[in-house]
Amino acid sequence: MLPRYVVVPAIPIGTGSVRCGKRSSWTAAVSFSIYDNRDKQRLQPTYPTKAEAQAECERRNAVQILTSVGWSNCPISE
């Protein structure tokens, strides 16, 4: 089963590209976002490290699992 939340590289905002012949190079993403597989969208905010984004994904996925089995008094809230 695919987890609802996964870590993806953030989309660089306001970066340009350098064109060399037929190739263009983009700057690499320096931050990470969380993607919601159910709603098919990136969530805000972005995280500076992959470890921070992964920790938030694990927290959100745990909440998703706990609420889906009917444990409404989850101490970890969204």
pLDDT in tens, 19-77: 555 655 555 557 999 999 999 999 998 999 999 999 999 999 998 887 877 765 555 55
Residue 46, in any domain of the structure = yes
Give a yes or no: residue 21 inside a domain: no
Does residue 77 lie in a domain region?
Answer: no
State whether residue 2 is helix, strand or coil: coil
The predicted model scores a pTM of 0.68
CB atoms inside a 10 Å sphere around CB 63: 18
Cβ neighbours for 22, distance < 8 A, ≥ 6 positions apart: none
Domain span at residue 34 reads: 1-12+28-71
Q: In this structure, are strands 23-26 and 32-36 parallel, antiparallel, or unpaired?
A: unpaired
DSSP conformational letter for 17: E
Is 76 within the bounds of a domain? no
Tally of domains within the chain: 1
Q: Say if 59 falls within a structural domain.
A: yes
Does 19 fall in a domain?
no
